[in-house]
Amino acid sequence: MKNKEHSANSHYAALVLGALGVVYGDIGTSPLYALKEVFGGAHNPVPITPDNIVGILSLFFWSLMVVVTLKYVSFIMRANNEGEGGIVALMTLAIDKKTMGPWRYGFLVTLGLFGAAFFYGDGVITPAISVLSAVEGLELVTPAFKPFIVPFSLVIIVGLFVLQRKGTASVGALFGPVMVVWFVVLGVLGLSGIVQHPEVLVAVNPLHGVNFLAENPLLGFFSLGSVVLCITGAEALYADMGHFGIQPIRSGWLYLVLPTLVLNYFGQGALLLSNPAAIENPFYLLAPDWALTPLVALATVATIIASQAVISGAFSMTKQAMSLGYTPRVEVLHTSEDEIGQIYVPSINWFLMVSIILLVLGFQSSSNLAAAYGIAVTGTMLITNVLAVSVAIRLWHWHPMRAVLGALPFLVIDGCFFGANTLKIPDGGWFPLIFGLTVFIVFSTWKRGRDLVSDRMADDALELRDFVKNLDHGGVVRVDGTAIFLVTDTTYVPQAMLHSLKHYKVIHKHVIFLKVTLDTVPYVPAQQRMHVETLSNSFWAVSINYGFKDDINIPDALKHCKIPGVSFGLMDSSYFLGRETLIPKIKSDMAYWRELLFIFMYRNSDSATSFYRLPSNRVVELGSQVVL
């Protein structure tokens, strides 16, 4: 009994450690720049006075308590899709096409896609601002390093993306312990500052934050655009919930991350009370001179870990969006034989790397990037609130008024943060908006284009069951083997089959019409994945249902398909795929420029052969033309 209890405790501790290494990297590196931006940033800095310092620290403390602890850790994490979190999982919980009107359904889907698009913006900005803010500590070691800050940052960023192909399995075990050291160092540094000026502890009283906003309404509103930097990364707690579970994430936050973050922010505030000139870099100046160089090294490693978590999240988000039909098929490589969630998406990897390099070269410093950071984070937080209201009404059966009133405080807080960040749009806030809008256009164009292609093909399609009856009456030569036709709808004859009959004038002894569907749940158990419908003695309609985080492998799934007399062996089966040539049309159901964008993505998307893990030497592609 004791051994089982010890094993369970060890497993739980491992989950907490893993969560510390992945989930908290983003929010855990915020002390590098958050308080510095409030008092020393380029955008409406707050004057350094004792009252202002205490007021801002109070806003920091209660932002962490209300937004992160109360909203995300206590409430939002309840809205999980079979244990999975994140904006895409939340969107799938919030919508129901069967019961919702088209306007409400479209509105929630649009919000969810915008939230996912903002997440990609966060995936670009987080590595840039985190690595720059860490490397900027070298300037305090010696001013001679200043010209090398940007080049050093670029080297680290390029190295980070080059190593993505190897996966995180080999270095993942180091992430947790390194972040534990990082948070302990944060707490110790903060405590050393608080000891010098313990009066900063009065900032836990929310009245100090309220008084600051009341006495400086305009300046206080502007300051919220920088205060929000202390809670960047809160969405990661929710997004990575499926990897570690709710309780390990909550334990890591409550017992280590939250206390050490508060101590560090308060320690920086105490330092500013005694030395306002320390605003040059209050985080690094908390440390004694002898510890500066090792602290820069530790901060750099911590920001790399923070960046890794966001990049891995972008890979997972891409796979989820692709599975749900919102992005073109792209190559997905699995970097671990044991962990299905550890993936590498080459196209997204290089896209993010180029975007981050351009961002660093364009903004040059963490302070300049801070203006671009907040709007992506607050935009996602606002969207999360709205989707959570829908989940509370649809799944938890809350009265709409109760759901709205429950979310109203969070909507007001996040709305103020978002509003304050909109004032920084000319100074850099335009970047995540344009980036997010671009990603959203890609998502929506691909989804609309695929629906349009399906509609066009259905217009000229033949009823499958009538067609099968005619074939059963004879007249067509039958050959040995199994033909598997991939279809999107089992009610119509696939174009690939019509072309096969036209060219080869034969049909296989056994014919499978295979439809792959992606469910709105993350995982579908293997025993519930397959459904077989007999159409005749030699024709079957087979549906394989995957969750949006499942690994899709058709040959492997067909091994479990039991149809008497039918062999799915490698040498007995042939896969037939349709390959459409798309032709744009003016005055179609989609704008002409979006048609051209869709056709470009379609032509450059990954092949169905690799996406479905089909044996390439057993695949036959037959083309047809579709006028959009």
* Nearest Cα to Cα of residue 338 among 571, 93, 532, 169: 169
Does residue 611 belong to any structural domain of this protein? yes
Q: Which of 417, 448, 479 is the last residue of a domain?
A: 448
Query: Per-residue pLDDT averaged across 262-280, rounded?
Result: 93
Last residue of a domain, one of 448, 481, 498: 448
pLDDT class of 2 with cuts at 50, 70, 90 = low
Select from 402, 419, 448 the last residue of a domain.
448
Q: What is the pLDDT of residues 381-423, one digit of tens each?
A: 889 888 888 888 888 888 889 989 988 999 999 899 988 888 8
**For residue 453, is it within any domain?**
no
Answer for the pair 32, 299: CB distance below 8 angstroms, yes or no.
yes
Using alpha carbons, select from 280, 211, 373 the residue that is nearest to residue 39. 280
The verdict on 361 and 482 lying in the same domain is: no
Res 513: pLDDT: 92
CATH number for the domain including 349? 1.20.1740.10
> 62 falls in which pLDDT band (50, 70, 90)?
very high
Quick one: average pLDDT of 418-431? 83
Same-domain pairing of 352 and 488: no
Structurally, how many domains does the chain consist of? 2
Do 360 and 404 lie in one domain? The reply is yes
Q: Is 235 part of a structural domain of the chain?
A: yes
364: which DSSP letter? -
**Domain check: are 258 and 338 in the same one?**
yes
Asked if the structure places residue 475 within a domain, the reply is: yes
Strand order in 530-534's β-sheet?
530-534, 539-546, 506-518, 477-487, 573-583, 619-627
Are residues 111 and 21 both part of a single domain? yes
* Judgement on whether residues 403 and 504 belong to the same structural domain of the protein: no
497 and 392 within one domain: no
**Do 291 and 413 sit in the same domain of this protein?**
yes
**Does residue 622 sit in helix, strand or coil?**
strand
Interstrand relation of 619-627 and 573-583 (parallel, antiparallel or unpaired): parallel
103-115: average pLDDT: 86
* Same domain as 495, residue 377: no
Q: Is residue 454 part of a domain?
A: no
Buried b (16+ CB within 10 A) or exposed e, 61-89: bbbbeebbbebbbeebbebbbeebbbbbb
SS3 98: coil
527 domain residue, yes or no = yes
Global confidence as pTM: 0.82
What band does 185 get if pLDDT is binned at 50, 70 and 90? very high
Question: Which residues fall within 8 angstroms of residue 585, CB to CB, at 6 or more apart?
Answer: 595, 627, 628
Q: What is the DSSP string of 312-361?
A: HHHHHHHHHHHHTTSS-----EE--SS-TT-EE-HHHHHHHHHHHHHHHH
Burial of 20 (0-12, 13-18, 19+ CB in 10 A): buried
pLDDT in tens, 8-61: 667 677 778 777 877 888 888 889 888 998 898 766 788 999 999 999 999 999
CA gap 350, 73 in Å, rounded: 33
Q: Which amino acid type is present at position 577?
A: L
For 612, phi then psi, to 5°, come to: -90, 5
Q: Domain residues for 619?
A: 462-627
pLDDT digits (tens, 9 = 90+) for 485-504: 998 888 888 888 888 888 88
